[in-house]
Structure 1
């Protein structure tokens, strides 16, 4: 589970986890604009109102091993960057509410698409709380990722228009 390396050498979600969600959207903005929004973790609260706080703990640009702390869905989360390829791919993993809580692995992928970028996101959830009620976690994760993509699209397109 630690690495989740796919056949093509990419870090990815845990496809054997009880909960896996995948969503995508086309954003009429540059990959650079989308990347800046995604990787400015300290500013997540400005476009993701359900996140009360988010703070990068490791100084400098995001890189494998960078740590950030945040809160979502009532969980305190510590995440570590697994892969960061600017304007292309961002992967992190972390525990919500500690090692006996929810283990999430999240992937963001940006692919050129016409006059914008296709933004795909996927996340896996595992751990004792997920095992106890996978249907609730699946529904919550599906709704959250769809909302995040919609907000990312609106934020990036508004920034590009101004």
Structure 2
């Protein structure tokens, strides 16, 4: 059973998972700009070079139940959107390499901060591959989330200048 990070109305990571990572950065750009970049999943490969492909498979705007497929860290991933609060919060969960692979739950949160927005991200990993080597997955997830935040910051701030 997935445990939420906050109350029952708030989708969250599995805080009891063997691997949990949390990072944040302040971005000098509007929440609208950050949100547009973050939720344009089909364009992730333009600012996240380690993602080989990313595509939304469900027609229409992102909403709970929307499915997207992507590839990262050598895994083919199918994710499902769990929660969408535009310009505030995006949550998805999915399996890397199928149901016997890595179950990731990912939360992005945007909070107004001075001239921009504080972007926080947290993710939990569980599943047999994670159980076999949690330290390796922890190191990889920490590095990945920190890198993604820095790239999101750079991309959003460049979009604000241009």
Tell me the TM-score normalized by structure 2.
0.98
Gaps of 5+ in 1: none
What is the number of residues matched between the two proteins?
162
Q: Is the 8 A contact 2:65 2:82 kept in 1?
A: yes
For residues 4-58 of structure 1, the C-alpha deviation after alignment (integer angstroms, 9 at most, x for no partner) is 3622621000000000000000000000000000000000000000000000000
Equivalent position of 1:130 in the other structure = 130
Give, in whole Å, the separation in 2 of the partners of 1:3 and 1:63.
21
Secondary structure at 1:16's aligned position in 2?
coil
Equivalent position of 2:17 in the other structure = 17
Gaps of 5+ in 2: none
Equivalent position of 1:68 in the other structure = 68
Equivalent position of 1:48 in the other structure = 48
1:26 aligns with 2:26: yes
Q: Is the 8 A contact 2:3 2:16 kept in 1?
A: no
Equivalent position of 1:115 in the other structure = 115
Q: Is the 8 A contact 2:55 2:70 kept in 1?
A: yes
Structure 1 vs Structure 2 CA RMSD: 1.1
Give, in whole Å, the separation in 1 of the partners of 2:87 and 2:125.
25
Distance of aligned partners of 1:17 and 1:25 in 2 relative to their CA distance in 1, 3 Å threshold: same
Tell me the TM-score normalized by structure 1.
0.98
Distance of aligned partners of 1:96 and 1:6 in 2 relative to their CA distance in 1, 3 Å threshold: same
Equivalent position of 2:99 in the other structure = 99
Give, in whole Å, the separation in 2 of the partners of 1:108 and 1:78.
18
For residues 59-100 of structure 1, the C-alpha deviation after alignment (integer angstroms, 9 at most, x for no partner) is 111000000000000000000000000000000000000000
